Amino acid sequence: MVINPISPTVDFDQDGVQHGFLKLPYSHDQSAWGSIMIPITVVKNGTGPTAVLTGANHGDEYEGPIALYDLAAKIDPVDVSGRIIIVPAFNYPAFLSGTRTSPIDGGNLNRIFPGRPDGTVTQKIADFFQYQILSRADYVLDIHSGGRTLEFIPFAACHVLPDKRQEKRCVEAMRAFNAPYSLMLLEIDSVGMYDSAAEELGRVFVSTELGGGGSASATTIKIAKKGIENFLKHAGILAGDPLIEPTVNLDMPDGRCYVSCETPGLIEYTVELGEEVEEGQVVAVVHEVTRTGRPPALYRAGISGIFTGRHYPGMINMGDIVAVIAVPV
């Protein structure tokens, strides 16, 4: 049996706060016997549940890392009952390069679970989380946003699960995170996702999409910070009740919620994120740019609902997401 080469410099069972690294050996031209040093904080006080908090699963999404580096610097173990494992930059090589996937192996950490202990750098990170981190977790929060190519209304999300008791616990934790929108998310392709790995192990799992465009705003950062604190209060790891404000509950009944691009070009949106749209309504047009005088291609909502997600850059390609529409419930 191959042992995962990642070694933590922290002791997961020690009380107090420890700031250290997940040390991943990586031999390359600039460092023959070098390691990738993934920052990690472990905060523990007595017995109680364990929450695992991650950001930058995709390296170009910033609310998670900002809120989690901030939390790690401020948290006092006396305020904790149980344990918090904080990894602000989950796919650390991708985070350092500001890209969705790893510049080392092209690995998309959220499509590669359960990983491999003898695989590429990204596969080794996934394998370590599968067997060393998720095994210790009760509550798992993975903070995403749209990255450089997508933008979303700020939502927390969970999934429809075969185990309805587990699904209920995930929904309760999503509601506790209390983003402005709470979404039962229909994934395009859930194979290899960290979400699925955590859910299959029976964990209470919540994800988010808090913004996008390859940056973070004051508003979305505030949502992340409040959501994390609420999530830890809900888990009973921090004292007190979550601060609950109004949220819009959303569902994604089927594939009509996604509109994909079939004509590359210059995209002109005709609605803003958060607006209500009717089935058949034009949400965007795409102008062909190789010549003038052509009528634009029209992209229509496949279902009535809230305009939830969109392509971010000004130019769009074949197969890119034009629109995500979710239905208020």
Number of residues interacting with Ca ion: please give it, by CB under 5 A: 2
Where does this chain touch Ca ion (CB under 5 A) — which range of 30-38, 137-145, 178-186, 273-281? 137-145
> In terms of CB distance, is 190 or 281 closer to Ca ion?
190
Does residue 297 sit in helix, strand or coil? strand
Residue 193 near residue 109, CB atoms below 8 Å: no
Longest Cα–Cα distance in the chain:
70
Report, in Å, the least distance between residue 55 CB and Ca ion. 10
Report, in Å, the least distance between residue 145 CB and Ca ion. 7
> In terms of CB distance, is 45 or 308 closer to Ca ion?
308
Identity of the residue numbered 58: H
Which is nearest to 209 in space by CA: 156, 247, 171, 169? 156
Residue with tokens 């830890």: 232
Report, in Å, the least distance between residue 214 CB and Ca ion. 11
> In terms of CB distance, is 83 or 148 closer to Ca ion?
148
Report, in Å, the least distance between residue 58 CB and Ca ion. 4
Residue from 58, 148, 234, 310 touching Ca ion (CB under 5 A): that is: 58
Residue 1 CB burial class (10 angstroms; 0-12, 13-18, ≥19) = exposed
Separation CA 198–CA 138 (nearest Å): 9
Work out whether 148 is an interface residue with Ca ion (CB under 5 A).
Answer: no
Report, in Å, the least distance between residue 146 CB and Ca ion. 7
Report, in Å, the least distance between residue 319 CB and Ca ion. 17
> In terms of CB distance, is 124 or 144 closer to Ca ion?
144
Where does this chain touch Ca ion (CB under 5 A) — which range of 50-58, 63-71, 215-223, 236-244? 50-58
According to DSSP, residue 132 is labeled I
Where does this chain touch Ca ion (CB under 5 A) — which range of 11-19, 58-66, 239-247, 259-267? 58-66
Report, in Å, the least distance between residue 191 CB and Ca ion. 16
- Read off the tokens for 174: 């999503």
For residue 114, cis peptide bond before it (omega within 30 degrees of 0): yes
Where does this chain touch Ca ion (CB under 5 A) — which range of 20-28, 84-92, 138-146, 151-159? 138-146
> In terms of CB distance, is 61 or 138 closer to Ca ion?
61
Report, in Å, the least distance between residue 152 CB and Ca ion. 10
Residues 134-161: b if buried by 16+ CB within 10 A, e if exposed: beebbbbbbbbbbbbbbbbbbbbbbbeb
Report, in Å, the least distance between residue 147 CB and Ca ion. 6
Residue 152, strand partner residues: 309
Strand runs labelled E in 147-215: 150-152, 155-158, 181-184, 204-209
Residue whose Cβ sits closest to Ca ion: 144
Residue 53 near residue 85, CB atoms below 8 Å: yes
> In terms of CB distance, is 115 or 211 closer to Ca ion?
211
> In terms of CB distance, is 58 or 310 closer to Ca ion?
58
Where does this chain touch Ca ion (CB under 5 A) — which range of 52-60, 156-164, 210-218, 230-238? 52-60
Provide CB contacts within 8 A for 144, sequence distance 6+.
57, 58, 61, 64, 207, 208, 209, 210
Residue with tokens 């910070």: 225
Work out whether 144 is an interface residue with Ca ion (CB under 5 A).
Answer: yes
Chain contacts with Ca ion (rule: CB under 5 A):
58, 144
